[in-house]
Chain A
Amino acid sequence: MPKELMNKQDIDRAVTRMAHEILEKNKGMDRLCLVGIQRGGVYLAQRLAAKIKQIEKKDIPVGVLDIAFYRDDLNIRKEQPVVRRTEILCEVTDLKIVLVDDVLFTGRSIRAAMDALIDIGRPSLIQLAVLVDRGHRELPIKADYVGKNIPTSLSETVVVRFEEEGLEDRVVLEKTSQGQPDNA
């Protein structure tokens, strides 16, 4: 039985808070760009951009990044990851990029995303915003903005469901039979 960790309201409040934190830490949105990691991070980045627009009354560029080509686990995955589009609408070089993902787990996805970004250009700095940090890092990666810290065990998986995919906004905890699920 999946256990609910955050409901629609919880998620919305967290996103609002994170939007404020991003603007606070970066002293505004000058030279700032959000880049969502396919797929969960993309919806999140779009919502953060909407909140930021509410606050600053201006559009912030939102890019989309697919990390399939940069993964380090292609040989051991059961199924080949589907390749999706990459569209970084901002000129990465000399910009401040906030990478956005739904769940931070081992940190390997973020490493792949950073490799991809750096192959695209030379950002002046990269920050990381995640909705959920579930612990169990395997690389020295830290999120700058966290919606909620949720300690988990390796036999569990955290799933974020999005309205944009036709489901109700929820963060749930499910049991898996073995270690590494999709969110890494």
Chain B
Amino acid sequence: MSLFVSNDVVGSLNTLAGGLFLLCAFGIVTMRQVKGCLQLFIVQSVLLAASAVLLGVLFDSWHLLAVGMVNLIAKPIVIPWILRRTLHEEIYTRREIDQVVNIPTSLLAALALVILSYFLTLPLLQDAGAEIRGVNVPIGFAGLFLGAFTLAVRREAVPLLIGVLAMENGAFFAGIAIARDLPFIVELAIASDGLILVFVVGVLTRAIHKHVGSTDVGALAALKEGSGEEPGS
């Protein structure tokens, strides 16, 4: 399939996609608006799909091309659609959101996580053919860690959900390079699982908004040891 461009060019494009993917993960940690978070997640998902397609060209694998297509439909199109249906006002009313730690500190911590993931994945890349995996695996791990970090520093429901989705993006970004023969049916099932995830969390967020009055889930901190009890249930 590599008739038009050389493998080097495809490899470089994949590296570019990886770099931008990582940049998006940083943005999701620090973005000040709910809508901005969502848009960055969409861009990140497109980059994930692009990397899958590029690797598909590189390895002559129709399977990876199909994975890229599934990702391109499920994440940048269907997930925002579900969110718009369930949580419109949460996202599209212009709102500033806060973090538990300030932005420079969280950027530094995020940077440390990226370096950590690079060293953690070094032992996985010892054998032959590691050039491509050398891009995708450390960046995928970093995406996973940065998503988890987003969960730690965010307090609002929608950015937290996006943190979970960004973690899955990270897992897949590594996955397309190391597990590229995974049965296609499994990929489809995982993608539809992601849609159920967004739907359920969306409905739960709406219930919280309705019964608690805000989606600042970080402020929900009544349940701990020694606290009084609430009647009911």
Do A and B actually bind? no
